[in-house]
Amino acid sequence: MAVSPDLAALDGPSVEVAPLLLGATLSRGEVAVRLTEVEAYAGERDPGSHAWRGRTPRNEVMFGPAGHLYTYFVYGMHVCANVVTDPDGRAGAVLLRAGEVLGDDPAVDRGHPARGPARLCRTLAITLDDDGCDLAAGPVTLTLADPVPAGLISTGPRVGLRRAADVPWRFWLTGEPSVSTYRPAAPRRRRTPDA
DNA sequence: ACGCTGATGCTCT
DNA sequence: GAGCATCAGCGTC
């Protein structure tokens, strides 16, 4: 089997796996984050997914077995991370949008350093070098928790997408202060071609 | 309180 | 060369 037994639950459709990641713990070294907000991306048939136009060097990892980390660089200065789902050959993934830092002084956590996908990555020092990392082996590891009751989970449209912005594939823990507020895709203004 | 904007560089066409 | 699965900072109400 391609997926570690501990992470076997990830070996399925991203939309079904995504809510299972709420409450799970992502850690690196001494830093641990409890996931509070995620988004599902359904691979080649999802216009919002990086895998939409097929396999490329960047999205290669998404086509591999579940339980690995897919990281990418965006907007010139940010890294975002996904948990790869679906069987080997299928490009499903779940974007990790926000979490709550564990074990730290609550006073420090009040600033929500892991709110937003790029800040979550910065908190765990995740970079492009972590692309493809086996989440069962580390250095970044994922520990699943007992499923959160459906009544405590909210859903809505995914954040910041220009395509497929209508599908409610964003999942978060209702009332969690670490969850980012919804932002529609920024309308693109033309590069000052001048008057 | 909320909305709009620029910054910044990797990735694919 | 254009487009981004973003964020912080500034402006306006």
Instruction: Verify if strand B has an atom below 7 Å from the CB of A82.
Output: no
Q: What is the spatial distance, in angstroms and rounded to an integer, between the CA atom of A192 and the C1' atom of C11? A: 21
Give pLDDT, residue A195: 39
**pLDDT value at position A103?**
79
CB atoms within 10 A of CB A189: 6
Helices (H), A46-170: 106-109, 117-123
What 3-state DSSP class applies to A6?
helix
Integer angstrom CA distances of residue A13 from A41, A43, A98, A168: 9, 10, 21, 15
DSSP class of residue A163 equals S
Structure tokens of A34?
């409890």
For residue A191, the model assigns a pLDDT of 53
* CATH class in words for A5-173: alpha beta
* pLDDT at A179 (0 to 100): 86
Domain residue extents for chain A = 5-173
Q: Which residues of chain A have pLDDT under 50?
A: 192-195
A50 CA: nearest nucleotide by C1': C5
The nucleotide minimizing the C1' distance to residue A57's CA is B11
What is the pLDDT of chain A when averaged over all its residues?
90
